[in-house]
Amino acid sequence: MYYQVFRGDGSSKNYKILSEMLEDFDRLDVEELYRLVKERYSASRPEGFDLMLWGDLHTLFEPDEDDEIWKDQHEYKLLSWRLYDFSGIHILLMENGLAIHMLTEKKYPLSQEMISKMLKKKLEVDHESSQAIELLRFIRSQVEFRRTSLTGFLAQSVRSSNADVLDSPYLLVLNTGTSQSRQHDMSKSDSYYLSD
């Protein structure tokens, strides 16, 4: 099963899962996809692969700490933590095949254990970017906030220079030959629709 995504100019591309779409989509594209999927399933419940796409987008934009995906974090073995700079989305990929998609600037109900696993795995990026630096600071601030909440004492400051973050053990720059920050070839005036 593939989703055929059409651009306003009539061209299209097939995608199987949201993670593949993030190779080509910017944030506006992902927001438009979410709008289309919500519209399509406003009166019915998605099934099969549609349920997976709907669930990934729902978790991305409307996380609910009571969802199973967050309650079962202690059971997950984290394989990788990757940033798609172009769309501003980072993904946790688990050994069981589960992928958790998250916006870089949004706080999610991640457990302290999962955040520790993320930092140990390192954030995978295609190139150094300000978004990667800000994401690392944001995640580290959640650790520091929780330490402060538990101890009642202010933990060491998470404000650091870009060089400190880039030299940190939490960032892994990959040289894959592709760049998430490349210019997007879709104009902002393009319209999209989804076909399966």
Rounded to whole angstroms, how far apart are CA atoms 153 and 20? 43
pLDDT at 113: 92
pLDDT at 185: 44
Domain boundaries, the chain: 3-195
Q: Is the pLDDT of residue 152 over 70?
A: no
Could you report the per-residue pLDDT of 23-54, keeping only the tens digit for each?
A: 999 999 999 999 999 999 999 999 988 999 99
Asked if 8 and 191 touch (Cβ cutoff 8 Å), the reply is yes
Rounded to whole angstroms, how far apart are CA atoms 29 and 21? 9
pLDDT at 88: 94
Rounded to whole angstroms, how far apart are CA atoms 57 and 63? 9
pLDDT at 7: 79
pTM: 0.76
Rounded to whole angstroms, how far apart are CA atoms 2 and 151? 49
Give the amino acid at 14: N
Classify 128 as helix, strand or coil: coil
User: Which percentage of the chain shows pLDDT scores above 70?
Assistant: 73
